[in-house]
Amino acid sequence: MPLDETQNRLIADSTSDFSGLKALFINTTLKPTARAPSHTENLMGDSIDIMESCGVGVDYLRAADYDIAFGVSPDMREEGALRDDWPEKIWPKVKAAHILVLGTPIWLGEESSICRVIIERLYAHSGQTNDRDQYVFYGKAGGAVITGNEDGVKHVAKTILYSLQHIGYLVPPQADTGWIGEAGPGPSYGDRMEDGSHVGYDSTYTKRTLTFMSFNLMHLAKMMHDNGGVPTHGNQVSAWQ
């Protein structure tokens, strides 16, 4: 949905300098770009607009557009996969980003199968370390965007955010947003109705939680960036080798 007056005012009134931060949004819809528009992308776009308007450099990718092998190794070609776009096309963006936002639709009450693949591929790197001898995702912030026309936003957010924090991401307050319609078949987020309105665009709750998520991710990432990340005492890997 287009940013509303409140969101634009919050952007204009921000006194924080978020320049220098990088964010990566990964949409795990089951639809490649060439097949159909994505309702999840529609909602993620608002968070992207907020971050870009605040000076954050943003990358966006739709995972279904890539050949991402399933597995828990950094390069699944070494495990026998014929193709794997993860090492060269996706991992460098993940590694460079201070903020990672995973977006997913809800299917049968759960995140998409592609979302699980992305989480597993992130997990494949969880044993690697940064230049401070901490696990490689330390000091990065993570969030989640969920859409669907069935119940499950909070359940899916719980799964994604737990996974991200378990491998080292920091999760700020209100780090998820979502929208769901009535239970059962029906229009999805952003669908245009006969009267010209768009489904979900009038949801104050979704606008508010998306705005909180976007700013909280930026605030936390900036704190980490400005202070050199998470303090190292007690969490350096070499102490346990």
Confidence band for 151, pLDDT divided at 50, 70 and 90: confident
Asked whether residue 138 carries a pLDDT value surpassing 80, the answer given is yes
Average pLDDT, the chain: 95
Burial of 225 (0-12, 13-18, 19+ CB in 10 A): middle
Confidence band for 160, pLDDT divided at 50, 70 and 90: very high
| Owning domain of residue 27 | 5-240
- What is the domain count for the chain? 1
Asked whether residue 122 carries a pLDDT value surpassing 90, the answer given is yes
Confidence band for 47, pLDDT divided at 50, 70 and 90: very high
Task: Determine the average pLDDT of the residues in 64-73.
Answer: 97
pLDDT digits (tens, 9 = 90+) for 176-217: 999 998 777 778 888 888 888 888 888 999 999 999 999 999
Q: What percent of the chain has pLDDT over 90?
A: 86
CATH number at residue 46: 3.40.50.360
Buried-exposed string 108-139: b where 16+ CB fall within 10 A, e elsewhere:
eeebbebbbbbbebbebbeeeebebebbbbbb
Q: What percent of the chain has pLDDT over 70?
A: 100
